[in-house]
């Protein structure tokens, strides 16, 4: 799973746990000049996802820890929610570019061949 796919799964987990709504803001967490995770905020909750530990900590409005989910728990929670609710966002595949056409060749005023980029 790529980092962007994992991030989408964590976002989906947070949204499912808060029973819908939307993420109002998202921040990158940096500690000692290293990327360490993300912070999500919704209207009633906020969460911190620590990427190295793959841990999602969800807090209520009073900054009280409401839930802690680790890697497998995040996956199983999202999977169970996907079975019951199909309105959850899905990960879309990025289309591939068609192969480039062969470069056309022509010659300059001296007869040397010129290759042109597509």
pLDDT tens readout for residues 2-27:
888 889 999 989 988 888 778 899 99
* Alpha carbons 108 and 106: distance in angstroms, whole number: 7
Give the per-residue pLDDT at 37. 93
- How is the chain split into domains, by residue range? 3-84
pLDDT tens readout for residues 40-87:
999 889 999 999 999 999 998 889 999 899 988 888 888 887 665 445
* Predicted TM-score (pTM) above 0.85: no
Quick one: residue 17, left, alpha or beta (phi over 0 = left, psi -120 to 50 = alpha)?
alpha
């Amino acid at each position: 799973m790529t980092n962007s796919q994992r991030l989408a799964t964590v976002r989906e987990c947070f949204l499912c746990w808060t029973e819908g709504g939307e993420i109002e803001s998202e921040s990158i967490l940096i500690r000692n000049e290293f990327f360490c995770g993300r912070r999500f905020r919704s209207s009633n909750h906020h969460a911190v996802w620590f990427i190295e530990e793959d841990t999602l900590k969800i807090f209520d409005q009073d900054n009280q820890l409401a839930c802690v989910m680790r890697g497998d728990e995040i996956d199983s929670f999202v999977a169970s929610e996907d079975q019951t609710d199909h309105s959850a966002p899905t990960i879309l595949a990025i289309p591939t570019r068609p192969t480039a056409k062969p470069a056309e060749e022509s010659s300059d005023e001296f007869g040397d061949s010129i290759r042109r980029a597509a």
